[in-house]
Structure formats: C-alpha cells, structure tokens
Amino acid sequence: MEPCRGSSSASPMNATPLRLDSGFVAPSLAIMTIGWLFESACGAAVSKPPYSILMNRVMMRGVVNTSFRVRPMSPNDFGELEGIIDTSFSWFVRSLALHSVREQRRVLISEAQGTVVGFVKLTNVQVGSGKFGRIQWIAVHPQFRRQGIATALVNAGFESLTRAEAKAVFATVRRLNTASLTVFGSQGFRKIGFLELWRLFGLRIFEFYREIWLAPWILVLMHD
Ligand SMILES: CC(C)(COP(=O)(O)OP(=O)(O)OC[C@H]1O[C@@H](n2cnc3c(N)ncnc32)[C@H](O)[C@@H]1OP(=O)(O)O)[C@@H](O)C(=O)NCCC(=O)NCCS
C-alpha cells in the first residue's frame, strides 16, 4: 500500500502536485495537442464534445493524472456533490449521505479542473470525556478514481480531526470494500475489534457503538 501521491502532507488549502505517468506523457500530450488543434480549426462550440470525450477516456484509463486540491466545502459545491453521491453509493444510503453533506459542516472536497471530484465528511465522536473523530463518508467521482484523490482526502480529514484534538480517528467500512480498505490502510488506519475497543472504552463501548453503524459486514478502523 503506497503513501499519498504528492499529497501526504496535504493541508485542506494546499494544491496537490500533478502526478504524471511518464510512459504515457507523450501520447497524452499528443492527444491534448490534437484536441487543441481541432478546437482551433473548428471553433470551441463544435470541438468541445469530442475533445472532452477523448480526455475523459484518457483519464478513465489512468493515463493522465489530474491536478487537484483539497479545500472546505462551500454552499455552491452541493450540486456537484450530489452527482458524486449518486454515482458512488447504493440507493439506500444515498439520502443519508446527502443529508450529511447538506449541512456543509466539516466537509472537505477535492477539486480538479474547477470541478468537485471527491469529498470526505468528518464528524466528532464523544465517548465519556474522550473526544474522537470519524471519517463518516468518502467518495470520489468514478472518472477520477485511482489518482490518489481519496488518499489525499483521508489524510486531510485525519489532519483536520487531530488538529481539533481528536484522540483517535475512526472509520467504518464494509468488509468487501477493498478500495476503501486499501485507501484507509495505506494511511495508517487498522482494523480494531471488540476486545480492543473494550480496552479503550470499557463499559462506554456502547456509547461508541451508538455513534457508529455496526453490522456483521462492517469493519471498524482506527488511526491514533
Ligand atoms: C473508495 C474510493 C473513495 C477510492 O477513491 P480513489 O480516489 O480511487 O482512491 P485512491 O486513488 O486514493 O486509491 C489509492 C489506492 O487504493 C487502492 N484502490 C483504490 N481503488 C481500488 C479498487 N477499486 N480496487 C482495488 N484497489 C483500489 C489502490 O491500491 C490505489 O492505489 P493505485 O491506484 O496506485 O493502485 C472510491 O473508489 C469510491 O468513491 N468508491 C465508492 C464510494 C465508497 O465506497 N466509499 C467508501 C465508503 S467507506
């Protein structure tokens, strides 16, 4: 599991550097040049769709990696976030995710090419007098996946929560969600079972379970 690409120290307001796959730089530049020539020759209105489609294909194959930055959500981002939620979550959790980001508090978004391409929603978890944090939702637009965007969001979320004095940060992930487990695992999160949680919280473990969703198919991850 590799560290965040060029963004492990990403603070929410910092731009994350470009990552280019050197083997594909030349073809990508060629495609961009052809797109630009095509646009110049035919006029932007005509040429934009084929050029965008080409670029989308290139990005979907992971040939070009996008420059992105992580920043706090603003009210104008909600529409684009809705699109990401629609394409990322099953119907029965979509409305919960939408509700959670609608209040706009503690949502970091990842922006690339002037578009919102991913988000992370953070919450506080209070157990007794202990203050903890939780990464509650994370998703990246399908066209922008496998470019380190979720990794950067997890990092930025963890930093933000620990700066706000969370003793540890939790996440809950479906056992079969390999993508998410890999992203969290690569950033220092580890599985934590009942016994370890019991050692951490004692009888207050039930307060913790009240804060998170627990089911047999869900794993609890922790980063301290
Ligand atoms: C999970 C998710 C947020 C990952 O976003 P991402 O931006 O593609 O993740 P990253 O690019 O940071 O991935 C980092 C590493 O995680 C692993 N990974 C990511 N997606 C993977 C996948 N689909 N299958 C296997 N490994 C994957 C890879 O090791 C990847 O590194 P690599 O691209 O160099 O191989 C994204 O797939 C998503 O939005 N899924 C739907 C919503 C969801 O499941 N949210 C999590 C709920 S807990």
Mean pLDDT of 211-223: 90
**Cβ atoms of residues 11 and 159 within 8 Å:** yes
Most confident of 6-10, 26-30, 87-91: 87-91
Nearest CA to ligand 1 atom 21: 179
pLDDT tens per residue, range 31-76: 444 444 433 333 333 333 332 333 343 344 444 567 999 999 999 9
Q: Is the pLDDT of residue 120 over 50?
A: yes
Is residue 8's pLDDT more than 70? no
Atom 10 (ligand 1): residue with closest C-alpha?
A: 148
What percent of the chain shows pLDDT beyond 90? 64
Higher pLDDT, 204 or 1: 204
d(CA 127, CA 166): 11
SS3 175: coil
Q: What residue's CA is closest to ligand 1, atom 33?
A: 146
- Ligand 1 atom closest to Cα of residue 172: 48
198: helix, coil or strand?
Answer: helix
CA pair distance 102, 81, nearest whole angstrom: 9
Q: From the CA of 147, how far away is ligand 1's center (Å)?
A: 9
Q: Are 69 and 14 in contact (CB under 8 A)?
A: yes
Tell me which residue has its CA closest to atom 5 in ligand 1: 150
Average pLDDT over residues 80-105: 92
Q: Nearest residue CA, atom 19 of ligand 1?
A: 179
User: Dihedral, CA atoms, 117, 183, 181, 212, nearest 10 degrees?
Assistant: -70
Q: How far is the CA of 180 from the centre of ligand 1 (A)?
A: 5
The whole-number average pLDDT for the span 137-161 is 97
Task: Name the β-bridge partners of 72.
Answer: 108
How far is it, in rounded angstroms, from Cα 116 to Cα 84?
8
Looking at ligand 1, which atom is closest to the CA of residue 152? 12
d(Cα 15, Cα 128) in Å, to the nearest integer?
A: 37
pTM, whole model, 2 decimals? 0.77
* pLDDT band for position 214 (cuts 50, 70, 90): confident
Of 135 and 58, more confident: 135
Residue 207 CB: number of other CB atoms within 10 A? 14
How many Cα atoms sit within 13 Å of 107 on the Cβ side? 24
